[in-house]
Amino acid sequence: MIVVIDYGINNSSSVVRMIQKVGGNVKIGSKPEDLNEATKIVLPGVGHFDEGMKLLDESGFSESIKECVLNKKIPVLGICLGMQLLCECSEEGNKKGLGLVSAEVLHLNDSSRRELKIPHMGWNTLDITRCNPLLENDPEEQRFYFVHSYYVKPNASELCIAKTLYGSEFCSAFNSDNIFGVQFHPEKSHRFGISLMKKFVNI
């Protein structure tokens, strides 16, 4: 059973529909107990880092996610803000993240992007940096839909499995053992998003 966590600031229903489309057995998890039957977890999210962590902490999801991922070794996929919440901290707020990945979250607004619009919004491509279970190193250009003002900077470069160019390159997907994160929205990325989600379902 794939459990898509609904903690109040995410688009869980569209993620559920995509998982159903690729043949996954899925349900929305609105309370920590729903993770008891999870064989995989999806943590979507949109909005502010501190608000996301506040909702996860207050609902009890934070500790349940850590138990599932660290002790039970259940695969988890963080999407957009969900990817960032898997990290240790963010420039967007003061709260600690879930700390499941050794990484920090930084603002896109640096010297390399002074002439570019922030947030980074729209279609962009990926450069696959190492073999991984989610993304094929395909010669065909892979395009995904982004909406974000912050990005993840892993403390170890090998955690990054894909980079995206927006002024300068940033890590747009990571993988650490059973932990996956993507900055883009697979559920809005048509056939490339469908392919990625199918791979996650079949891990």
Is 185 in the active site? yes
Cα torsion 91, 95, 101, 106 to 10°: value is -10
Which one of 80, 87, 160, 171 is the catalytic residue? 80
Q: Is the CB of residue 187 less than 8 Å from the CB of residue 82?
A: no
Is 80 in the active site? yes
DSSP 8-state secondary structure symbol assigned to residue 16: H
Cα torsion 113, 117, 123, 129 to 10°: value is 20
Does residue 152 come out as left (phi exceeding 0), alpha (psi in the -120 to 50 range) or beta?
beta
Which one of 92, 120, 160, 187 is the catalytic residue? 187
Which one of 104, 120, 171, 185 is the catalytic residue? 185
Residues annotated as part of the active site: 80, 185, 187
